[in-house]
Amino acid sequence: MKKICICMIGILLISACLAYNSSAMTVTAPGKQLPSIADAGPGVAGAYPAVAYPAGTGPGDAGLAGMSAALPTWMGFKRTDVMVAGRQCIIVEPDTALPGKPWIWRTEFFGHEPQGDSALAAKGFHVVYMDVQNMYGAPVAMALMDSFYTYLTVTRKLSKKTVLEGFSRGGLFAFNWAARHPDKVSGLYVDAPVCDFKSWPAGKGKGEYSSGDWKLLLKVYGFKNEQEALEYPGNPIDNLQPIAAAHIPILCVCGETDTIVPMAENINIVRERYERMGGKIKMIVKPNNGHHPHSLKDPAPIVDFVMEAAVRSRHESTDN
């Protein structure tokens, strides 16, 4: 009898070890906070909330690379955390996905002013995020985003085209990835976006200077010195032609009195150049509103724009 018990215990232990080492293992665990980003900005320190990850699966926890972790919910919807290319990613699933599985890609500050994202999830959109914080839209971040896109479209079977959502510095990621892959983008929703890093974080004009972010940006882009950065030709304001040629619509929500990422040095330049190229851009300018708060109390105009862009893109794909 003792031998039988010992044998059964051994089998159970082996099974547990195999399950632990499986790359498909799903883990449910308490959340932990992502380390804070430089200056928590741009803007007021602490204005953007940290992203909650399951214990042991945050950035730097390489032991769980390749595994997914199912958290209970996000805004009432199923949330799954997964490691892709060594980066923590979040996928929020709608209760019932729309045909074609459309999705919106939050490039920065997941969960901040979530009313637009949650409304889209309620209408059948997936909401996704990849942690590329402190990369400021640099080429290395673009390569990581490419990996996440492949995972989402091949493994998760989401639509071949996404709507990119860029809050603040997230505008650098959104515009740069759209210019890199215009055939994979159905629309751009940007909110008080950084469109020229010379304005923020460099502060070379009227934009706010952020010393910590500027030093990090110089490093992640691999610039040899500040002058090389200031002469860089790849800021969104300088790289709109691929986006315009693909007829990608843009929605911008911004504050009229934003002094951190001034409209005049960022989105206003984009608007003037994009329209000259024949591109369509819709502006929602909030009077007496600075860099914060982002989004709209009633996100209906944002939701309508995103849905229209996704539907138009799907019809074009069907027609072809």
Which residue's entry shows tokens 């690379």? 65
In percent, the amount of the chain with pLDDT more than 70 equals: 76
**314: confidence class by pLDDT, cuts 50, 70, 90:** confident
**CA distances from residue 108 to 12, 114, 135, 157, 295 in whole angstroms, order as listed:** 43, 12, 10, 23, 14
Residue-level pLDDT at 54 = 44
Q: What is the pTM for the complete model shown?
A: 0.81
pLDDT of residue 313: 74
Position 71 scores a pLDDT of 56
> Which numeric CATH code is attached to 32-319?
3.40.50.1820
- pLDDT band, residue 49 (cuts 50/70/90): low
Q: Where are the domains of the chain?
A: 32-319
- pLDDT tens, 221-274? 999 999 999 999 999 999 999 999 999 999 999 999 999 999 999 999 999 999
Whether the CA torsion 271, 235, 178, 263 is positive or negative: it is negative
CA distance 315 to 262: 36
The 10s digit of each residue's pLDDT in 57-116 is: 333 333 333 445 555 789 999 999 999 999 999 999 999 999 999 999 999 999 999 999
Confidence at residue 316, expressed as pLDDT on a 0 to 100 scale:
72
Cis-peptide into 42, omega within 30 deg? yes
At residue 36 the predicted structure's pLDDT band, cuts being 50, 70 and 90, is very low
